């Protein structure tokens, strides 16, 4: 504008430093919010033949409530996470009949249950939210020890039978049962065999 004196070099440097400092603070707050948006157990342990139940808590924002929830297993060779089960009504062929997932959107919680454990199930996993498996997730390790399961465990029961944390909650559940082979397509490393991303859904916040 006419009559406005240009900023001095020293003043300009101070202004630039303040702007950079503000950007760092905003970035740190965004990263902190993302880190706290999803929480799950770091270590899950069970016995061969038994069952494990995994609870993953998330920020129940309007976007997160409608996003895809998933549980995937990390590949040690390519570091890809292959979907085991998701709320897109997908279940990996090898896990059908012994894994289930249930989402409780208003509680900010989804639950995964894996039964009939074996030593082959031990490894690294993720529970997460979003169309892809590498955006918002919580990592965990599953350890399987030898020995009979505890008396309260019923390996033959349907894995979706006791997913609900309370009788009054109505989850969106996906069971391993009732899926035919026609759902199986070539595997995508981020989604899993036959799984497709949600369309028209916004970013996770």
Write the pLDDT tens digit of every residue in 10-62.
Answer: 666 555 666 566 666 555 444 445 445 899 999 999 999 999 999 999 999 98
Those residues whose C-beta lies under 8 Å from the C-beta of residue 61, and which sit 6 or more positions away, are 205
Q: For residue 77, what pLDDT is reported?
A: 79
Q: H-helix or E-strand containing 68?
A: none
Whether 81 shows a pLDDT value over 80: the answer reads: yes
User: How many DSSP H helices and E strands does the chain contain?
Assistant: 2, 13
Exposed, middle or buried by CB within 10 Å (0-12, 13-18, 19+), for 205?
middle
Checking 163-168 for CB contacts under 8 A at 24+ apart, the result is 163/53, 163/100, 163/101, 163/102, 163/111, 163/113, 164/102, 164/104, 164/111, 165/55, 165/104, 165/107, 165/109, 165/111
Tell the residue number behind the tokens 């006419």, with chain if given: 2
Give mean pLDDT, residues 88-115: 97
| Local confidence band at 73 (pLDDT 50, 70, 90 cut-offs) | very high
Tally the C-alpha atoms within 13 A of residue 173's C-alpha that lie toward its C-beta.
20
Q: For residue 25, what pLDDT is reported?
A: 54
Whether 101 shows a pLDDT value over 90: the answer reads: yes
Whether 174 shows a pLDDT value over 90: the answer reads: no
Q: For residue 129, what pLDDT is reported?
A: 95
Whether 121 shows a pLDDT value over 50: the answer reads: yes
Show the CA angle centred on residue 99, arms to residues 101 and 158, nearest 5°: 100
Strand intervals (E) in 42-164: 43-47, 52-58, 69-74, 81-86, 90-91, 99-104, 109-114, 123-129, 136-145
Q: For residue 78, what pLDDT is reported?
A: 76
Do strands 43-47 and 136-145 pair parallel, antiparallel, or not at all (unpaired)? parallel
Please name which of 33, 94, 98, 95 lies closest in space to residue 61, comparing C-alpha atoms. 33
Task: Sort residue 103 into left (φ over 0), alpha (ψ -120 to 50) or beta.
Answer: beta
Give mean pLDDT, residues 167-175: 45
Cα–Cα dist 202/186, whole Å: 26
């Amino acid at each position: 504008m006419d009559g406005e004196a240009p900023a001095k070099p020293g003043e300009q440097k101070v202004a630039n430093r303040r702007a950079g400092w503000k950007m760092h603070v905003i970035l740190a707050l965004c990263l902190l919010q993302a880190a706290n948006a999803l929480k799950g157990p770091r270590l899950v342990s069970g016995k061969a033949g038994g069952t494990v139940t995994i609870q993953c808590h998330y920020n129940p924002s309007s976007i997160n409530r409608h996003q895809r929830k998933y549980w995937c297993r990390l590949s040690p060779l390519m570091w890809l996470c292959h979907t085991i089960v998701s709320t897109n009504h997908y279940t990996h062929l090898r896990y059908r009949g012994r894994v289930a997932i249930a989402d409780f959107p208003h509680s900010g919680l989804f639950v995964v249950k894996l039964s009939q454990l074996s030593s082959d199930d031990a490894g690294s996993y993720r529970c997460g939210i979003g169309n892809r498996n590498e955006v918002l997730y919580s990592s965990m390790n599953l350890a399987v020890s030898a020995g009979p399961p505890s008396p309260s465990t019923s390996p033959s029961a349907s894995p979706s039978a006791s997913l609900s944390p309370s009788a009054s909650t109505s989850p969106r559940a996906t069971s391993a049962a009732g899926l035919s082979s026609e759902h199986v397509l070539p595997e995508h490393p981020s989604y899993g065999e036959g799984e497709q991303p949600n369309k028209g859904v916004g970013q996770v916040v």
